[in-house]
Amino acid sequence: MKTKGFPARNFNLLTDELSHKYDLIFANAVLLHFNKEELDLSLFKVYGALKPEGVFSFSLKEGIGETWLKNKLNAQRFFHYWTEDEIYETLNKVGFKKISIAKSTTDGTKWLCIIARKS
């Protein structure tokens, strides 16, 4: 995004402070590596960093449970799976009210693609 002139920045959602206010925060295939507590922490941080009516867009793997996998990157990676109802409940608890969830499947993986607007 920076090469196209957008003021984008990378940050670690678990450890970095979100000291600015944003219109949009995008986390594609990031939060699926967080457990429930880490997701809750992250969502509260994101909500606080969004401007009024700001948007948070992210994706998760659909399912139940969690696992460690070594496929694709040849390194152990943690995955937590989520149901649509769990995500609605979690986002509502944080304060998001305008929530849209689309489902898709890529190479057999079921995805939840979420857009949540700060109320």
DSSP tag of 2: G
CB atoms within 10 A of CB 97: 11
pLDDT tens digits, residue range 23-68?
999 999 999 999 999 999 999 999 999 999 999 999 999 999 999 9
pLDDT at 21 over 90: yes
Specify the CATH number of the domain 22-107: 3.40.50.150
Higher pLDDT, 21 or 1: 21
- Domains of the chain, by residue range, sit at 22-107
Q: What's the gap between Cα 26 and its chain centre?
A: 7
Cα angle, residue 43 at apex, residues 40 and 48 outer, rounded to 5°: 130
Average pLDDT value for the chain: 93
